[in-house]
Amino acid sequence: MSNTNIDPTILKRAQSWLSDVNIDDETKVRISTLIENDPGELAESFYCDLEFGTGGLRGIMGDGTNRMNRYTVGMATQGLANYLKMVFAAEPEIRLAIAYDSRNKSSYFARIAAEVLSANGIVVYLFENLRPTPELSFAVRYLNCQSGIVITASHNPKEYNGYKVYWNDGAQLVPPHDKNVIIEVQKIASIGEVNFAGDESKINMIGEKIDNEFLKISKSYSLAPEVIVPQKNMKIVYTPLHGTGITLVPQSLRNYGFENIHIVEEQAVSDGNFPTIVSPNPEEKAAMQMALDKARAIDADLVLATDPDADRIGVGVKDLDGNYILLNGNQTAALLTYYLIKQWQLKGKLTGNEYIVKTIVTSELLGDIARSAGVEYFDCLTGFKWIAEVIRNLEGKKTFIGGGEESYGYMIGDFVRDKDAVTACCIFAECAAWAGSKGKSLYELLLDIYLEYGLYKENLVNVVKKGMSGQAEIKAMMEGFRANPPKEIAGSQVTLMNDFQLRQATDVVTGNVTPIALPKSDVLQFFLADGSKISMRPSGTEPKIKFYFSVRAELHAVADFKKVEAKLDGRIEEIIVSMGLR
């Protein structure tokens, strides 16, 4: 195939790798093959640099500037090393912990990061085998590290991998460090600037000791161990979806006192190809199907799943008809929040100084539950780094009970500063045991919450836009809504518009504009006269724009649940159609 079919700029970028003495010969052969045979893939691989965003890297694995590979990981790590040496220049020793998940090349990328960091004089604590993301967050603080890295692409498809950076509080980067690290990474203009010559004397392997400390502290967050004893044989089905959860979740459940745990063995094998599922995402029923089938076969009481890096949790329960259903992220968050606050009340632990945190796109039901108990709640931007920032700002002043977001991530207490599916699995099982001690199922407990606070129903529509053109389309969609906001949606007037990019809230009825005291973010929210809430934002980790829908109605009797739920489902569909998303 002639090179004339390839964009000259892209061809020049690819040829610069072919002429770079720092690129290995095998990579050069593969790039040459792309030039000759696959201009489309060549374009996707080289049309830009893989962006080091505020959370780190995430992308498809392969050769090129826009792919996850030895060189892009090395350049990111060199930039991080440079920044750490600037910020912590006065420290006698800079320390960093590294963990990785079960994805293809995760251990390889972790080793590259360790070598680059150690070559730059930084002491590295590298987990000897795959470990959950929450354990990395814990290890950063436990080992008094200045930073941390976890190699994972969370629940993305198997072609992806990623690289998340943590600060010395065990949380992902927030301002000013997120932008400052990006600046240092962008300063690395060539692969030749990366020091790959690792210093083995500075690389320390870690594992079982950290596991034991993590499990011990996680167990200390049990709020009602007395309800577990009579419920210890509750049947729990668990699947790690081929990921890291298998290293800690079953043991943690046993530590809490649960003895009847049934693991989906086919998915207990750590495999980055995820052979039994298309996507390792516990939000999707297809990923949970084997666990649900096992639950039906043994008449289980609870189904639990964790994504590949074990920071998200999926939950299955029986409904009133005995059918297994999956809870969505808002329902799980509501149950956890209700249980945590209720137990703090029952144990006399509430002093008026406690709080929870949720993200702006998460159900308002969590705020209702907190307010009714006199517990303060805070809204923050999407992403657990913002929940962790609230904790950091209130440390020593107020007591954090828990937090969560609709995308299946939850945090119990503050010993971990990121989503923690390990502890969340245990507390959720404890919640099920508590409900059982009252003669209720988890589903019945959820219905009780709806009777008390109203039935909230949420939905999420992902509009996927891949590649170069996709980025432009997503940007145009946000600009369109921002420049020409709707006056009404599905027959209901828009009463409030929150623009987190401009950091201002506009009362559409009065025209009053008030500032939003949260960091700048490309998010829009519309509140309607009927109480509905619509949020939209480009994903920070995937090629999609997300639309969140939330509606609410009173529920006066359990017998009315299906009727009211169907009405709310219909209302969400009206809104989706009105916005041109169907």
Query: Would you say residue 2 has pLDDT above 70?
Result: no
Helix (H) or strand (E) holding 173: none
Residues near 506 by Cβ (< 8 Å), separated by ≥ 6?
496, 497, 498, 499, 512, 513
Helix axes 421-437, 133-142, angle to 10 degrees: 110
* Region 380-390 average pLDDT: 94
Spatial distance between the Cα atoms of 276 and 67, rounded to a whole number of angstroms: 26
Q: What is the predicted pLDDT for the residue at 4?
A: 59
Contact call for residues 534 and 361 (beta carbons, < 8 A): no
* Region 138-146 average pLDDT: 98
Are 25 and 107 within one domain?
A: no
Q: What is the predicted pLDDT for the residue at 582?
A: 77
Question: Is pLDDT larger for residue 554 or for residue 464?
Answer: 554
Are 197 and 296 within one domain?
A: no
Reading phi first (left if > 0) and then psi (alpha if -120 to 50, else beta), residue 478 is in alpha
CA 383 to chain centre: 7
Are 179 and 264 within one domain?
A: no
Q: pLDDT class for 472, splitting at 50, 70, 90?
A: confident
* Region 454-483 average pLDDT: 87
The count of structural domains within the chain is 4
Question: 513-528 pLDDT, tens per residue?
Answer: 999 999 999 999 999 9
- Strands (DSSP E) contained in 309-419 are 313-318, 324-326, 354-359, 376-380, 399-405, 409-412
Angle at the Cα of 64 from the Cα atoms of 59 and 65, rounded to 5 degrees = 70
Q: pLDDT class for 541, splitting at 50, 70, 90?
A: low
Contact call for residues 565 and 455 (beta carbons, < 8 A): yes
Q: List the catalytic residue out of 106, 154, 492, 532.
A: 154
Kindly report the average pLDDT of the chain as a whole number: 95
H-type alpha helices, 380-420: 384-394
Are 198 and 84 within one domain?
A: yes
Report percent pLDDT > 70 for the chain. Answer: 99
Are 301 and 439 within one domain?
A: yes
H-type alpha helices, 98-221: 106-119, 133-142, 177-187, 208-219
Are 346 and 397 within one domain?
A: yes
Radius of gyration from C-alpha coordinates of the chain = 24
Give me the domain span that covers residue 143: 53-206
Are 362 and 424 within one domain?
A: yes
User: Is 279 designated active site?
Assistant: no
- If DSSP codes are grouped into helix, strand and coil, which group holds residue 126? strand
Q: What is the predicted pLDDT for the residue at 557?
A: 98
* Region 124-146 average pLDDT: 98
Q: What is the predicted pLDDT for the residue at 287?
A: 96
Report percent pLDDT > 90 for the chain. Answer: 91
Q: pLDDT class for 464, splitting at 50, 70, 90?
A: confident
Are 255 and 377 within one domain?
A: yes
Supply the CATH number for residue 523's domain. 3.30.310
Q: pLDDT class for 581, splitting at 50, 70, 90?
A: confident
Per-residue exposure over 475-510, b if at least 16 CB sit within 10 Å of its own CB, e if not:
eebbeebeeeebeebbebebbebbbbeeeebbebee
Q: What is the predicted pLDDT for the residue at 458?
A: 94
Question: 271-302 pLDDT, tens per residue?
Answer: 999 999 999 999 999 999 999 999 999 999 99
Supply the CATH number for residue 127's domain. 3.40.120.10
Helix axes 208-219, 133-142, angle to 10 degrees: 100
Contact call for residues 416 and 211 (beta carbons, < 8 A): no
Question: 230-244 pLDDT, tens per residue?
Answer: 999 999 999 999 999
Q: What is the predicted pLDDT for the residue at 1?
A: 44
Closest CA to 211 of 154, 167, 249, 165: 249
Q: What is the predicted pLDDT for the residue at 292?
A: 98
